[in-house]
Amino acid sequence: MDRLEKNGYRYAGASKEAAVKICEWAKKSIRGEGTCYKQKFYGIESHRCLQMTPGVRNCTMKCVYCWRDITITVPGWDKTVDEPAEIIDECIQAHRKLLEGFKGLESADKKKIKEAQEPKHAAISLAGEPTLYPKISEMIEEYAKRGMTTFLVSNGTLPERIEALEKEPTQMYISLDTGDEGIFQKINQPVIKNAWEKVNQSLELMKEMKCRTVLRATVVKGINDTGWDKYAKIALKAEPDFIEIKSYMCIGFSRERGLRLDNMPKHEEIMEHALKLALEMGYKVKDEKKDSRVALISKK
């Protein structure tokens, strides 16, 4: 068992590039301990969400705040391209196996355990940059055929893949942590050339998308917690429906990169940042979830 499997990941597909993991909020929901902010903001039931990725080690960045193991990161795709249906089938099978331990748990909601066996939503976001997967559009289509909604989370460094999407997800995320190129290089640590220019191209493309669109900023105190005027200028290129301002969480492998609890903004600070950005953009702060240290800014 490798490092990822010890941390709850399970591989899928013949090439073992895809992976699935039970989200902590899904576990909490089953135990009656709360739900993910995505349920509060967008109505996605935490216990019915499949958290997966078509490429667990494939990414174009090595973000300092990432809770994943970025030592295994490769910037391209160098293995067999598994079919979307095969990946999804195996992810759901692994998802069900990982849920088996809850069946004997006294505090578990039996109705939710049963419903969790048939996920209705796929968060294509577990690790890596999912648009590196050559059949990402076909994967979104396959989920749609199964009656599942999708969140596609991208770092925006592959605008050509976003432009080539024949099937849009239910919700398109682009992670945008700063409006300053220098800070971008420091916090996101891209491993490809012209990453900043490519992100800006993706923001322009996002503006034309028909699905729900969201920018997400992970705020690391002392690194990217200023300059909201610059952020607003860049973000308005995309005219997103929503922006999530979220605190960095000192968990997982991020602790191996020198980040500490002091780098985690308090929820009150996140709300202050959200209010500043909303004012700069002409948006409004619509919602918040204190235990996740996240605020939702809305265009309407």
CATH code where residue 81 lies? 3.20.20.70
Q: Which helix (H) or strand (E) holds 267?
A: helix 267-281
Per the structure block, which two tokens stand in for 206? 């996002």
Q: Identify the bridge partners of residue 217 per DSSP, sorted by sequence position.
A: 245
Select from 108, 16, 6 the least CA-distant residue to 53. Answer: 16
Domain count, the chain: 1
pLDDT higher than 90, residue 77 = no
Q: Which residue has the higher pLDDT, 68 or 121?
A: 121
Using pLDDT thresholds of 50, 70 and 90, give the confidence band for residue 91: very high
Mind listing the pLDDT tens digit for each residue in 130-163? 999 999 999 999 999 999 999 999 999 999 999 9
Select from 198, 186, 192, 207 the least CA-distant residue to 258. Answer: 186
Q: Is the pTM of this model over 0.85?
A: yes
Mean pLDDT of 22-43: 93
Q: Provide the residue range defining the domain that includes 170.
A: 3-298
Mind listing the pLDDT tens digit for each residue in 263-285? 999 999 999 999 999 999 999 99
Q: Which residues contact 24 (CB under 8 A, 6 or more apart)?
A: none
Mean pLDDT of 83-97: 96
Per-residue pLDDT at 2: 80
